[in-house]
Amino acid sequence: MPTPPFTEYTARLTRELIHTLVAETDEARLAEHVAFIADKLAEAAARPQQVTVADPHRSAGHIPDDITPASSARNPIAPPMLIEWDGDESRCELTLPLQYQGPPGRVHGGIVATMLDHVLGNAANAGGRPRSYTRYLNVSYDAATPVGEPLVVVGRTARHDGRKRFMEGEILCHGEVRVRAEGLWIEPREGLGHRS
Amino acid sequence: MPTPPFTEYTARLTRELIHTLVAETDEARLAEHVAFIADKLAEAAARPQQVTVADPHRSAGHIPDDITPASSARNPIAPPMLIEWDGDESRCELTLPLQYQGPPGRVHGGIVATMLDHVLGNAANAGGRPRSYTRYLNVSYDAATPVGEPLVVVGRTARHDGRKRFMEGEILCHGEVRVRAEGLWIEPREGLGHRS
């Protein structure tokens, strides 16, 4: 089910609110922007069924009604990620704003790991394969991943062995590998559901 | 500098907005809750200097004016984390709401990695040591990390060697280790600043 327009619009306004909270240090200007967004939220909430969004987010496909903090259009924590599967590789292009910053100018290491976990997991489960879950994830931060610059996140299967899928991938910026990841995804035994 | 009350209050309302966006599937009820939050945002924005918050977030200490998506009181992406350093170990207790969910009932693997990266990094830089940066982080998902249940995240130095700090830690739930992590943090050479 695609995200309803009112939900997606509200999530977009919430992302704008998050950005102004971390970017604006002048209290008067912050208050002015918060008032502006509050007004738009109230206006949309008064007529939710009449809200439309330009260029609605297309779901990654394998997660129906996605609410994850990595990729969801309705969860303002997520960038959101649009992941494309070409038969060999999952791939996502995105640029992260200031709310994802750790050290100055650089994406927080945990957010870097989140994007890789999500794209490698997407590749592990692509092509209609049964859902699998991360068993381990190793991330190597070879160089900085900048905020505000276009990133490419890719993931693919390195090899598989029964229920085990060994995945690998990287984050590139301006054509250079900045971060590498490798991990193991495991498909739960039939009837067991996922590990708990 | 502690987070100003208006900023922290707005960030709290934004977390509530995020939660309702992922939790509420009925559009009319979602719109009603959005209208309620928009009203509170507008009210606060009209008199920012008169806003107060109960039990303001205490900063982790080593990051002045923290805006990170892992721990910041002002960044609604962050839970926020309150990390305590006891001289040996960094430790954080928290319970994550629905917006951090990956698979049903479980915290997204990337959010798990984010908490570990942040707490291990806090331990690596504790006690007034020069700032260091993650070189690699290996996360082993031994069992599920549930949303909505109390978690404990801990990090400590396993050993150090010159500018290298080998860190380790885990996430516990109900006294059981669910996730283990180990990683290397490196202090940049003097005058070089951080890797870029």
Question: Which tens digit of pLDDT belongs to each residue from B94-111?
Answer: 999 999 999 999 999 999
Which of A52-56, A149-153, A191-195 shows the lowest per-residue confidence on average (mean pLDDT)? A191-195
A141:B136 CB<8 A = yes
Q: What is the ipTM of this complex?
A: 0.93
Q: What is the mean pLDDT of residues A164-172?
A: 98
A75:B6 CB<8 A = no
Contact A196, B144 (CB under 8 A): yes
How would you class A127 by CB atoms within 10 Å of its CB: exposed for 0-12, middle for 13-18, buried for 19 or more?
A: exposed
Q: Say how many residues make up chain B.
A: 196
Residue matched to tokens 């997660």: A63
Position A195 confidence tier, pLDDT thresholds 50, 70, 90: very low
Distance between CA atoms of B101 and B99, rounded to whole angstroms?
6
- A153 CB contacts (<8 Å, ≥6 apart)? A81, A91, A92, A93, A94, A115, A116, A119, A169, A170, A171
pLDDT of residue B67: 92
Over residues A62-116, the pLDDT tens digits come to 566 789 999 999 999 998 789 999 999 999 999 999 999 999 999 999 999 999 9
* Residue B63 pLDDT > 80: no
Looking at the partner chain, which of A10, A75, A109 has a beta carbon nearest the beta carbon of B134?
A109
Q: What is the chain A residue with the closest CA to B99?
A: A69
Closest Cα of chain A to B60: distance in Å? 14
- Going A76 to B121 to B96 to A180, the CA torsion angle's sign is positive
Contact A120, A137 (CB under 8 A): yes
pLDDT of residue B61: 57
Distance between CA atoms of B169 and B118, rounded to whole angstroms?
11
Q: What is the mean pLDDT of residues B60-86?
A: 86
